[in-house]
């Protein structure tokens, strides 16, 4: 099948659609869910980091490349190609329909996520593999990082865009793969997509809050203090 740089390819477009849900979408949900351990505290979050770092490096790297980076890069690069070719007409008075708005926001959020993930990936996983330093991934580093309100805004926006992109990407995936054919079925999935969007956004924002509400080292200090406290006996009692 000949490929063209001037038009979308039917097969590649379907692959692009499914990779946005599996494995990329699944990984995003899993990533936010595990990061939400930050809400419980430093020890719980660092325990998650320790679990993954306990996996042999060659196994972990292979899993990341095959299950995450290759599908993600394909989805991102082909998504930029699709966005570059798209013709958005929502801003004209004649076409202010909800589906046109979703079409525009899906592509705009995709471009925002592309830039966000480049920074996020290079500053975390990329930094770890380049330096061998895992401390950048731990709770204390994130707590310090989010002391800057600018980074809170950047990550809150990145989470918002990613949640929208996945939520309504599921709606688009169901249509493209023929799962929802009738208008009624598409409306139900659209409502589900809205719930997914809101739920993932709140989960992701909760992660940011989790990195702010606990002081790094506090649990360790409290544990050490408790270990040296002894009952005081009073003579004659």
Domain locations along the chain: 10-87+98-215
Helix 24-35 to helix 10-21 angle (10° resolution) is 20
pLDDT of residue 86: 75
| Residue ranges for the chain with pLDDT beneath 50 | 1-3, 225-237
Return d(Cα 203, Cα 2) in angstroms, integer: 43
Return d(Cα 3, Cα 10) in angstroms, integer: 10
pLDDT of residue 24: 96
Q: Are 127 and 136 in contact (CB under 8 A)?
A: yes
pLDDT of residue 10: 83
Q: Are 25 and 170 in contact (CB under 8 A)?
A: yes
State which fold the 10-87+98-215 domain adopts: 3 helical TM bundles of succinate and fumarate reductases (1.20.1300)
pLDDT of residue 169: 94
User: In which residue are the tokens 């038009």 written?
Assistant: 7
Handedness of CA 71, 75, 78, 80 (dihedral sign): negative
């Amino acid at each position: 099948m000949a490929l063209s740089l001037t038009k979308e390819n039917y097969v590649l477009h379907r692959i692009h659609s499914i990779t946005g849900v599996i494995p990329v979408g699944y990984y995003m949900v899993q990533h936010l869910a595990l990061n939400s351990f930050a809400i419980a505290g430093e020890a719980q979050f660092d325990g998650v980091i320790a679990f993954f770092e306990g996996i042999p490096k060659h196994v972990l790297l292979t899993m990341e490349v095959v299950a995450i980076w290759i599908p993600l890069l394909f989805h991102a690069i082909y998504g930029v190609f699709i966005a570059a070719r798209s013709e958005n007409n929502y801003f004209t008075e004649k076409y202010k329909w909800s589906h046109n708005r979703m079409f525009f926001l899906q592509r705009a959020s995709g471009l925002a996520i592309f830039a966000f993930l480049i920074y996020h990936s290079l500053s975390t996983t990329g930094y770890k593999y380049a330096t061998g330093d895992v401390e950048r991934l731990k709770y204390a580093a994130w707590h310090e990082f989010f002391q800057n309100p600018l980074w809170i805004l950047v990550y809150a926006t990145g989470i918002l865009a990613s949640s929208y992109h996945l939520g309504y990407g599921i709606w688009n995936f169901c249509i493209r793969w023929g799962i929802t054919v009738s208008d009624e079925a598409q409306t139900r999935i659209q409502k589900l997509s809205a719930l997914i969007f809101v739920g993932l956004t709140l989960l992701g924002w909760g992660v940011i809050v989790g990195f702010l509400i606990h002081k790094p080292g506090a649990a360790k200090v409290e544990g050490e203090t408790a270990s040296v406290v002894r009952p005081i006996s009073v003579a004659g009692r």
